[in-house]
Amino acid sequence: MQLYFSPLACSMATRIALYEVGAEASYHAVDLVAKTLEDGADFRAINPMGQVPTLRTDDGVVLTENGAVLQYVADAFPAAGLAPTSAVERARLHQWLSFIGTELHKGVFAALLSPLLVDAPEATRDYARGRLPQRLAVLEQHLTGREFLIDTYSVADAYLATVLVWTSATNVSLAPYPALRAYHARILARPAAARAFSEERDLYVASRPA
């Protein structure tokens, strides 16, 4: 498999999942502003949206969108148990993947991370920041007394842990959300997540202008 990624972007969730399942994969950095690969090739020839994660499977199929890519990795390695198969639990997984993708990632953090990727106007950033407490409170309540988002560790945890990494770059404190903060530390301490985070942090630092 080939994962197109950008350091510390949402594609880190897929790297975590690939490490968790022990998949053989190669990793290709994308410049998300220029929309180019390291050899200068136009990334939009692979994904017209120019977004990561983009995954090319061993059969040459190109997959995009976090929810789809993460579930594909989980389903390709069922023994790792990163996605449940029963209808209700699978719907719960989908529920959390959608929540993270729409309510947190795109609905809040995409604007807060401005101007790193998009240049959101001040008013948009204020609006996004105002939406955050309710969403974090929902997570805090759900994770109080729970180890994972669903009954077992899943690709949704890899995605949420990745999005929560952005709290430090956006001055969002998790102090008012102790269960969520403990959850984040717990997920990032898993060997696959710790490895992915450490590698991508190094790549991110190396990619910044001196």
Nearer CB in complex with ligand GSH: 35/129? 35
Beta strands 26-31 and 36-37, pairing class: antiparallel
Rounded distance, CA 42 to CA 50, Å? 9
Query: Which position has the token pair 């008012």?
Result: 176
Least Å distance between CB 106 and ligand GSH? Answer: 6
Question: Considering only residues 34, 45, 117, 169, which one is a binding residue for ligand GSH as defined by CB under 6 A?
Answer: 117
Of the candidate spans 44-52, 132-140, 181-189, 191-199, the one that interacts with ligand GSH by CB under 6 A turns out to be 44-52
Nearest to 146 by CA among 68, 81, 154: 154
- For position 160 contacting ligand GSH by CB under 6 A, the verdict is no
Token pair for 33: 């502003």
Would you call the peptide bond into 84 cis, given omega within 30 degrees of 0 as the criterion? no
Least Å distance between CB 170 and ligand GSH? Answer: 13
Least Å distance between CB 27 and ligand GSH? Answer: 15
Of 47-66, binders to ligand GSH (CB under 6 A) are 50-52, 65-66
Nearer CB in complex with ligand GSH: 30/140? 30
Nearer CB in complex with ligand GSH: 83/140? 83
Rounded distance, CA 103 to CA 132, Å? 9
Build a one-symbol-per-residue string for 3-32: x at contacts with ligand GSH by CB under 6 A, - elsewhere: ------xx---------------------x
Alpha helices in 51-190 (DSSP H): 66-76, 87-98, 110-112, 122-143, 155-169, 178-189
Q: Is 4 exposed, middle or buried (0-12, 13-18, 19+ CB in 10 A)?
A: buried
Least Å distance between CB 116 and ligand GSH? Answer: 9
Query: Contact residues for ligand GSH (CB under 6 A)?
Result: 9-10, 32, 50-52, 65-66, 101, 117
